């Protein structure tokens, strides 16, 4: 038998312990641990797959020229895409080393200042010559980078005097340009290709089919190659633009010295008309609506003579 005094002492101790632990269990319990925060979505996951057109007849490379001609509503605003060809040929490296400028940083700065979404069609040689600029353009959400061949050689015969890429090397030339973009730090070049000089034929469309690119032409020629009058360039663009237009201009100081000043006129004038500037990817997305896509055709729309003379001089 347990003595009465020991029993009373034990009961008192238990009561004291219960009283001491009560605040912990009733009022001051530590909060339940929070579940770990979800990991941030990596940039690669946020990057959407760019729209492309379905292959043309017999699997040929599809060709895009302009978006649908919308009248301009809240649901379908009047859009226009400014595109800039960053041309440089394989043999122009010594000229760049001697001080000739095939870049145009002032143009890029103006597009940023005016907040103009734009698409740059670069040659691989341009990205090799100006890797920091290529990387900065490719990393700016305002812009997108697409392919303009490796060295601006023609993909058809008789294309403004340009040297010609043989059919068996056409796909390799395009892939070499993409490799140059990646080496320069352009992480997400788009699967769009612009033929040098705008020249293409059925053979070229077949040769590039395995590359999985959409060929991008234009319906408005800016006329800025070697132009010295920015107002004349602006006037030509403003007269040609329609809803859904794709405008071709250039991003080379030596070959297109008036482009940046022309853009300062073009942008506010088109905005006054109710146009919204978009990238080519947005135009292609609009063209994928039923009945809007254009089939590939043998023979291509060309620049007027002289538009790509920079590649020959």
| Each residue's pLDDT tens digit, 236-277 | 999 999 999 999 999 999 999 999 999 999 999 999 999 999
According to the model, what pLDDT value does residue 26 have? 37
Rg, C-alpha atoms of the chain: 30
Residue 76: pLDDT band with limits 50, 70, 90:
low
- Residue 211 or residue 313, greater confidence: 211
Tens of pLDDT, residues 3-26: 444 444 444 444 444 444 434 333
- Residue 16 or residue 123, greater confidence: 123
According to the model, what pLDDT value does residue 16 have? 45
Tens of pLDDT, residues 40-71: 434 433 457 999 999 999 999 999 999 999 77
pLDDT average, residue stretch 157-172? 96
**pLDDT over 90 for what percent of the chain?**
71
Helices of type H across the chain: 4-26, 43-46, 93-97, 105-113, 124-129, 131-139, 170-184, 202-207, 230-240, 259-272, 280-287
- Tokens 């100081």: give the residue: 253
CA distance 203 to 216: 17
According to the model, what pLDDT value does residue 77 have? 79
Q: Domains in the chain and their CATH numbers?
A: 79-311 (3.20.20.370)
CA pseudo-torsion sign 217, 286, 236, 82: negative
Spatial CA neighbour of 130 closest among 186, 175, 91, 176: 186
Which residues, in sequence order, are bridge partners of residue 144? 119
According to the model, what pLDDT value does residue 139 have? 98
Spatial CA neighbour of 105 closest among 310, 234, 253, 223: 253
CA distance 128 to 173: 14
299: Cα within 13 Å, side-chain hemisphere: 0
Residue 108: pLDDT band with limits 50, 70, 90:
very high
The mean of the pLDDT values for the chain is 84
Cβ atoms of 306 and 225 closer than 8 Å: yes
């Amino acid at each position: 038998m347990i003595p009465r005094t020991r029993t009373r002492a034990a009961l008192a101790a238990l009561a004291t312990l219960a009283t001491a632990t009560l605040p912990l269990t009733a009022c001051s319990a530590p909060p339940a641990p929070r579940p770990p925060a979800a990991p941030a979505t990596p940039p690669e996951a946020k990057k959407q797959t760019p729209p492309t057109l379905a292959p043309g007849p017999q699997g040929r490379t599809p060709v895009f020229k302009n978006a649908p001609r919308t009248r301009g509503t809240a649901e379908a605003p009047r859009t226009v895409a400014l595109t800039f060809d960053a041309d440089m040929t394989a043999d122009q490296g010594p000229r760049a080393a001697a001080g000739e400028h095939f870049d145009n940083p002032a143009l890029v700065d103006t597009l940023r200042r005016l907040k103009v979404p734009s698409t740059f069609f670069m040659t691989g040689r341009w990205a090799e010559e100006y890797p920091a600029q290529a990387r900065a353009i490719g990393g700016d959400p305002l812009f997108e980078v697409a392919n303009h061949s490796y060295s601006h050689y023609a993909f058809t015969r008789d294309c403004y005097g340009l040297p010609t890429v043989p059919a068996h090397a056409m796909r390799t030339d395009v892939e070499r340009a993409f490799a140059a973009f990646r080496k320069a730090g352009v992480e997400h070049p788009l699967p769009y290709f612009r033929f040098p000089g705008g020249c293409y034929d059925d053979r070229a469309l077949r040769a590039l089919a395995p590359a999985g690119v959409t060929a991008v032409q234009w319906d408005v020629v800016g006329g800025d190659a070697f132009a010295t009058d920015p107002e004349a360039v602006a006037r030509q663009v403003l007269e040609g633009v329609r809803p859904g237009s794709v405008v071709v201009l250039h991003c080379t100081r030596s070959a297109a010295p008036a482009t940046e000043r022309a853009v300062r006129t073009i942008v506010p004038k088109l905005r006054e008309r109710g146009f919204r500037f978009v990238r080519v990817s947005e135009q292609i997305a609009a063209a994928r609506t039923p009945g809007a896509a254009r089939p590939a055709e043998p023979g291509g729309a060309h620049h007027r003579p002289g538009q790509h003379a920079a590649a020959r001089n």
